[in-house]
Amino acid sequence: MANLTSNFIGIKSPNPFWLASAPPTDKKYNVERAFEAGWGGVVWKTLGSEGPPVVNVSGPRYGAIWGADRRLLGLNNIELITDRPLEVNLQEIKEVKRKWRDRALIISLMVPCDEDSWKDILHRIEDTEADGVELNFGCPHGMAERGMGSAVGQVPEYIEMVTRWVKKHSRMPCIVKLTPNISDIRKPAEAAKRGGADAVSLINTINSITSVNLDDFSPEPMIDGKGTHGGYCGPAVKPIALNMVAEIARNRETHGLPISGIGGVTTWRDAAEFMALGAGNVQVCTAAMTYGFKVVQEMISGLSQYLDEKGMTSTADLVGRAVPNVTDWQFLNLNYVTKAKINQDDCIKCGRCYAACEDTSHQAIAMSADRTFTVKDDECVACNLCVNVCPVENCITMVELPKGAVDERTGRKVADYANWTTHPNNPAVAAAE
């Protein structure tokens, strides 16, 4: 059986599944229940400086996006960092860590952007015996007036500066949590590395308004007739998170920088995808909030079975396996040709492929009088839309044309690999000639 034991930047845990800094990790009771359910680690909900506690609203804090079956696809959270006193949090962290020595316990921090504030809180948390700190540079809910959250995470120079302070004043491993509310995720990651960060975690939540109440004309969740943007998370953000993780993993300046993957991890498959793209472990929030802490048990068993089936003995064998296959568009093989093929035995004659292709694509599917649907190879560009709209899995597949075969659409034979960098239609090629 594959060994799921995780060693992330020297922080050991029995498996690579950590709970992310969020409402599920805001108190001793929650964290102990999570450990009892099997979670390998937690990132304690973000702590702030000593002083008057943060004030959260007492009305609705979550907005939501649902699928057709009302399955939760995304949450919008307007809750701020912990509103419990710092001293209470530190005492509970100390108690939990002493009881659960084999689990990873990371403290999320977000304090004003001055060195003394960071020095003070770091010295106070050293006594908890926590395994590391995570710098929250991504909280999207505001607090710019304190110089915290995404207001800092959008400025690489600030990230580097604060990270240096943390490494200067603390012995603890340092993870920098990055905001996705930025045009190029590589820049803050590079800044974190320059500052001495041991790892980065991403993505934090995305600025969003999930819906508008069309009776009261207020964003949801609504507080006394008003609403505001919040942080978007859940399965819907996973594609964005995967791309950003991959960008950091394959970037020359950050290649090899350990990554904790966050964003829509709901199943073991999601976790495996993050790891294949370079994440050493994953953090989970929305799935636990949706299904309860025991959801981790399916993740553990599923990932273990997958690794066994692939002949992998540990998660380390999986980490980064897909990174070499992530490339830029200009390097894709322009001589790779596929055609859609419909399995008539599986077809339920719903016509969704025909409607999609005829109205919005390339008119490459024909429909007979008895509603038999066939692909017109001379029109098919292999866009894959029909595969994506078909309700029957594997009813429509994309079949590769072998080298030397004639593409009926272009009349050309399938040739060897060639990409845009050498294509005669590329203006850069023409200019070089």
CA 396 to chain centre: 29
Residue 110 · residue 177 · CB < 8 Å = no
Gap between the Cα atoms of 242 and 80, Å rounded:
25
> 113, 139, 347, 383: which one is catalytic?
139
Question: Which sign, positive or negative, has the C-alpha torsion 117, 118, 123, 124?
Answer: positive
237: phi then psi, degrees, rounded to nearest 5: -95, -5
Helices 156-169 and 186-194, axial angle in degrees (round to 10): 30
E strand map for 224-357: 230-233, 259-262, 281-284, 338-342
Which H or E run contains 289? helix 286-291
Question: 413 with 423: CB under 8 angstroms?
Answer: no
338-342/396-400 β-pairing: antiparallel
Structure tokens of 10?
A: 């020297």
Q: What is the DSSP letter of 55?
A: -
- CA neighbor of 333 nearest in space, from 404, 414, 418: 418
**Catalytic (active site) residue 139:** yes
Q: What is the distance between the alpha carbons of residues 34 and 293, in angstroms, rounded to a whole number? A: 6
Is the Cβ–Cβ distance between 15 and 38 less than 8 Å? yes
- Tell me the catalytic residues: 139
